[in-house]
Every structure is written in C-alpha cells, then in structure tokens.
Chain A
Amino acid sequence: MSTKFGRLVSFVGKRRFSTSSSVQKGGSEQGVKSLNLCSAINQALHIALDSDPRSYVFGEDVSFGGVFRCTTGLADQFGKKRVFNTPLCEQGIVGFGIGLAAMGNRAIAEIQFADYIFPAFDQIVNEAAKFRYRSGNQFNCGGLTIRTPYGAVGHGGHYHSQSPEAFFCHVPGIKVVIPRSPRQAKGLLLSCIRDPNPIVFFEPKWLYRLAVEEVPEDDYMLPLSEAEVIRQGSDITLVGWGAQLSIMEQACLDAEKEGISCELIDLKTLIPWDKETVEASVNKTGRLLVSHEAPITGGFGAEVSASIVERCFSRLEAPVARICGLDTPFPLVFEPFYVPTKNKILDAIKSTVKY
C-alpha cells in the first residue's frame, strides 16, 4: 500500500538524488502500476498528447527525453512536430508557448530547472498572467502549462536547488501547483494542462526517482485549488507542499512518539490557495507550522501565516511557526545546515505545542 507520498526508495533524511532508472514493479492492482514521479509525469504527458491532438511538449533537450528523462519516448510516439527541442532561451520558450496557447493549443513548456526560469519572468508576469484580463477575455493563453523541476537535491548548489514559487504567487492571473508524489503529480499535471488558465507547475526533482507509488494507469485528474489533509491530528496543523511534505511527515511520526498529534496538510495549489481547509484545521488544533525550502523572508509561508492569523487569531494558542530555508543563496556544502530538516521541524512542533 502506498503512503500519502509514495514510498521513498532510499533514506529520506539524506537528500541524495538517485540516478537509477525508474523503478518499474508490476502493478499489484488492476490498472495500477508502481511508478516513480518522473515516470508519472511522463505518463501524464503521454496521455495529454494522446488525448488532444492540439497539445505540444517543448523545451530545452526535451526531444531526446530531457535531462531528467521526463519526456522519454514522447517524440518517437508523437513526432518531432509536437514534441521538440527549442533554442536555449527561457523567455523564448514561454513567449512561444503563449502564442501557441493563444491559438487554442495546449502548450506544455519545460524550463529545465526552476533556477533558470527568471529570463522568462517578464513573459510569465506581464504577458501570460494578464493575457485574458487585458483583452477583456477576447484572448487567453490558458492552454499554457510551464513545467519546471525545483528544489534541493543534495548537490545542486546555487543554481540547481532553488524553490522560486513565491515570486509567482505574487502574480494574479497564473496558478502555481506543486505535487508531492507520483500519483499526485500525474493527476495534478493533467488538470493543469487542461485548466483554462496559465499555470506554473513545479516538480520536486528530488522525488523524480526517489518517490515510488501505485499510480492508476488511466487518465485521471485531481482538483486544483483544493488542499488535502494527508494526516489527521489534533494538537498542531502543519502546512507544506511538494518534497518538503515528506520531511514534515517524518517530523509528525517522531512527534507522535512523544505524544503530539499532528495534522498535515498538502496545499498542492499555492495560488489561488485553499484557505478554508487550513482555517478549519487550525480552528481545530489551535496551532500552525508552515515549512518550505525557499528562504523564509517573503516566502509563501508568510502569506499562509498572515492569512491564518487574520482568520483564526482568537483560536491560536501559540505564534505561527515557520521552518524554512535560510535567507542566504542556496549554499552547496552548507545545504544540510540551510534546509528545513526534520529535527528543526520537530523542535518547532514541540515548542509550539508547549508554548
């Protein structure tokens, strides 16, 4: 049986990015297959291309399968006119994708690393996000989905580790979605591709090969802007997204041993986000901890924290805790110090509960 995150194929506490090929174990259920996150993404792209002839997958190196192999086999099956390499130019990739999407296509663009999305920032912020609004709904580029791997992997340093989601959460008109596991990744990605709004879809690259889960083989979608309580608890609410949730889950398990009952929520969609689910949980537990890898200052945790303080102030029994990345550039050899580890979270859970 898979967990809420999928099974992790190696020790979680150590962020080692496995380079082994995808784990393919025969499905134990009918129509369900054990897949890692990379293969789940690949399957979603396969379904997207297969189910809509007006869908396209493109980006740097996607033709041969991509540097993470997420687009493996797609060009062979769907042809180089629908799955293709682009020049090495992020603003070009997104600009091209906007034009393609505006003509009624599903443009699935890959930015090779989230660290390299910034040249496309103008196209995302000033163009994609405002395309519908500025035209009075005469035009839209809702068919655009920008996939990009994000987050720490243990050896990525400054430019292969960042979590830039908060920049995009400040932009009305786009949606920001981050899956936590293979099953989630497939269902959410298909929803994003088919959603009539431009979306930035951050993929936790640490989990590409590490997280394995039973994934239904059929075409299914998971709802956007709906958070999920993935662990019930009564003493404190923990909110996170993406790869960080598996670290938080470890902290929840350890806290349980000490008699603390944690409720864990996966936000999944960061904008527009599901405040109500978090609010209901905090009204129950009276305590909130938010955790993400991105630097704490100006991170999306600040938004979650402020919103919940506004809504649940009288119910809160302790200050909201934020366990996040530190306010330094992402540091190579200091990564174990920088990241929000299980024990940092565990300590914060204990001090919040004891406050």
Chain B
Amino acid sequence: MAWWFLQRSRIFFSTHQHSKPFLLLPFLNHTSSSFSRPRTLPHKNSPTLFCFSRHESTKADAQFELENDFTEDDTNQEIDFPGGKVGFTSEMRFISKSATKRVPCYRVLDDNGELVKYSNYVQVSKEMGVKMYSDMVILQTMDNMFHEVQRQGRISFYLTQMGEEAVNIASAAALAPDDIVLPQYREPGVLLWRGFTLQQFVHQCFGNTHDLGKGRQMPIHYGSNQHNYFTISSPIATQLPQAVGAAYSLKMDGKSACAVTYCGDGGTSEGDFHAGMNFAAVMDAPVIFICRNNGWAISTPVEEQFRSDGIVVKGKAYGIWGIRVDGNDVLAVYSAVHTAREIAIREKRPVLIEALTYRVGHHSTSDDSTKYRAIDEIEYWKTRRNPVNRFKRWVEKNGWWSDKEELELRSSIRKQLIHAIEVAEKAQKPPLEDMFSDVYDQLPSNLEEQERLLRKSIKKHPKDYPSDVPL
C-alpha cells in the first residue's frame, strides 16, 4: 500500500526481495553492475597510512553506499564462503569508520510546519491529524502537571517527554492496537494513544491500590495488558531481545501484527541492543526498533556514547533495514513507522528507525541538566525545533484546529488531571498481601512464613510501619 512513495527514497529504493544474509544491504543486491564498473578511486576516508600515490583521494561527497564499493580484480573469481560468495580485490583498502557524509534525515514538514517540496509521506486524515495533535498536547499537559506534583513532594519521581512528543504520539498512531509494544520509559504517549486513561497514569504514579502494578514499581513504570503495552522495567535495552521473542511468536501464529520496541541513544551501547538487533535479523522477526536519539543519555552526549554516524548505520551491519527520521516531525515519524510496519509484517523482517529528537526536559526529577549542557541548546530545541508547535502550524493551516479549541483542550485536560490527582491521592495504598503475591503464580511456603512473621512484627511495632497500607 505504501510502496509508491518509497520510490524516491534512496535507502528504501530497492528490490522487494530479501537480501542475501552475507551481503547485509538491500542495495548491494543490485550492485553487481557496480562490481563490473571501471576501477573507482577510494574516497577521502581511506586510511592515509596506506595511501599510494596512484590512489589519490578525490570526491569528498562520496555517497553512503560507496562505502563498500571496492573494485574487484576478476568478477569470475570468488570465495564460495559459508553465507554467500565473496569476490576478490587487490586493493588493500580498509573500510572507513563512517561515511564522509552523514545519513540524511527524512522529513516531511519544515520547521515552520510547511510541507517540504516533493515530500513523500503517508496521508493523514483530519481525524488522525487532530487526534495526534491533541494527544501531544495532553502528553505535554500531563508532563507539566506531574512534574509539578513531584516537586511538591506528592509523588516520589517523574520524568517528562518534553521535546519527544512527536516520536511518542506519531509512532503510536502509525501502529495497530494489536501490535505488541515493549517500551523503554520515555514513551507513555504510546499508551496514552492506545486509551490508557489519565486516571490510570495518575494511579500508577501514586502507587495506590488502583495501580495495575500494585504499587510495586517507581512512578512512570506503566504497563497494560489490555493495551498490549508490556510493563516497563528500569534496566536499559533489556526489552530489545524480548521484543524479538514476541515478534517471533506473532510470526509463528500467523498474526498480521508486529512487535515494536523503543530505546534511547544510550541504550544502543548495551549488549542487549546488539543481541536484539542480531537475533531479529537472524530470526526474520517482524519487529520495529525505534531509537529515540535525543542527544543525551542523562549527562553523556552522543559523542561520548558512540563514534558511528548515530544509530541508523548500525542496522546495516546487522543486515537490518533502517531509516533516519526527523523525530520532531510528526508526519515523518508517522510515515516511517507506518511503512516500517508494512515491511515488518509483509516481509517478516526487522526494521530500525532512528528518530533524531531532543530531550528538552531533565533526564528525570532527580537530574538538573543545566549542569552538563548549555541552556541555549535546550532553548533552541524547546522553541525553534519544538515538535508540538511545528505540527500545530500544519493542522492550523489545514483549518483543522483553532486557538479556541486549543484553550478548551488545555483547560479541560488540566481540570481532568487535577481531579484525577485528587482521586489518586485519596485512594488507599495496595494491601500488604500484594507484597507477597505474584512473586510466583502461587505463594510458596517461605513467603507464607515471612508474611506471618512480618504481621507479627507489625502488631508489635505498629509505629515502625506506614499506617496507610491496609493490613
């Protein structure tokens, strides 16, 4: 369905057939012609240590896919190596660490919310456009209020999505409800999109008896079986290989659905990122990896995280299709995820999406990001590259949205949240028995004994224990 607009995209401009596992890249499949081309000169990034005079650097604007454009001596000679045939070359040339030109970033809307000339994107209906915008506003409002509530000491912890609203909402909008989401922790917009109520968010953050997680995890560790949104855990990137297992199950069940998992730029340094990507490729698993490259892993900037051209190029080495998108462009994120989903499900293969965005807020309420990054930088992203404002201009230009609606929405959501917070605050804490249940499917004898002893201690020293937990 969405193939038509891919035809301009260099990254996806390709055959629909599976690439040979050993050749890794789709475009290498049809580069047999390039193999027989006259000798090409090595480009600028070749190691100068072995610079022979006859091989002078020429083009600075070498294209990304020229990276592997070695000249072969004799196309008839090759090693029949496990995994596929490999040709020979007499050139001793090292593959450079990265291309001279960075992989470009796919966008649809410019900074002013205008459609970029010749842009290819998946059409969005008025209903969809308005819902996406509204949910971004709701997410923003929720973040602002929860942040305040944490500052007042009413909840213990919070972290905002500020600056990453587009990745949150547009990626969710492009998925189907039965796609399985294995989130990190900065994607509650996906859950919001799927219908998790404001009250449910608030209950979780207050860890009360209505929290589906029974008050066992810190605020923001949401999860909802009903919404196919796996419960969040704090360890970074552990959900990636799990998403491959979930995707494999969907494939084996013949479901027309995929698994979708999120991580940040920091997460790509974890072993689990490697495990997830490699397993996904080898298992032909219908899984979409969405990496929110927001520039900062707490205080560590991307330059101290990796030396690759971001994340999208990592997919290439694993034999996974990938695309870099402007993560602050709702239409670009929506289109890329929508198409990735088609590819994943139809072709039973993983797709990597790197969304370039920015964490405008602090890492969490325990962090002050002005200690390690320039305020100007934050301001730039908060104002000039604000994803919500950019999309707003577009929906307004379409005549789909007005200032009046904006005011009404913001004030209505604020009211709803204030009410939800009051309700959550008044609600009871989960009962003590919830401390012991669900460790296993049934209570084992050691936990029975420990619960009994604990209750004895509570009776004896009631003041040692919180009085608001029902016994």
Contacts and interface: CB of A to CB of B under 8 A. Distances in A.
Interface stretch (A96-104, A283-291, A333-341): A96-104
Interface stretch (B65-73, B190-198, B276-284, B460-468): B276-284
A210 B357 CA distance: 60
A105 interface: yes
A225 B214 CA distance: 27
B216 interface: yes
Contact of A91 (B241, B434, B447): B241
B238 A122 contact: yes
Given A86-B279, A87-B278, A127-B233, A136 B438 contact: yes
Interface in B419-471: 434, 437-441, 444-447
B249 A103 contact: yes
A103 B285 CA distance: 14
Contact of A96 (B242, B271, B446): B242
A137 B249 contact: no
A58 to B, nearest CB: 9
Contacts of A196: 441
Contacts of B351: none
B99 interface: no
B275 A95 contact: yes
Interface in A114-137: 119, 122-123, 126-127, 130-137
Interface stretch (B40-48, B219-227, B367-375): B219-227
Contacts of A105: 249
Interface string A78-106: 00010000110101101111111111110
Contact of A134 (B213, B246, B276, B434): B213
A122 B241 CA distance: 12
A142 interface: yes
Contacts of A225: 444-445
For A95, A101, A138, the residue with the greatest tally of chain B CB atoms inside 10 Å of its CB is A95
B205 to A, nearest CB: 15
B231 A103 contact: no
Interface in A241-278: 272-273, 275-276
A196 B442 CA distance: 9
A90 to B, nearest CB: 9
A100 B279 CA distance: 13
B235 A122 contact: yes
A98 B439 contact: no
Contacts of B182: 99
Contact of B440 (A102, A103, A272, A275): A272
B259 interface: yes
B213 A86 contact: no
B115 interface: no
B279 A272 contact: no
Interface of B: 180, 182, 211-214, 216-217, 221, 223-225, 230-231, 233, 235, 238, 240-250, 252, 259, 271-272, 274-276, 278-279, 282-283, 434, 437-441, 444-447
Interface of A: 81, 86-87, 89, 91-92, 94-105, 107, 119, 122-123, 126-127, 130-140, 142, 172-173, 175, 196-197, 225, 272-273, 275-276
20 contacts: A89-B274, A91-B241, A95-B275, A96-B241, A96-B242, A96-B248, A99-B247, A99-B249, A99-B259, A102-B230, A122-B235, A126-B235, A130-B233, A134-B213, A136-B223, A138-B223, A139-B223, A139-B230, A142-B441, A272-B446
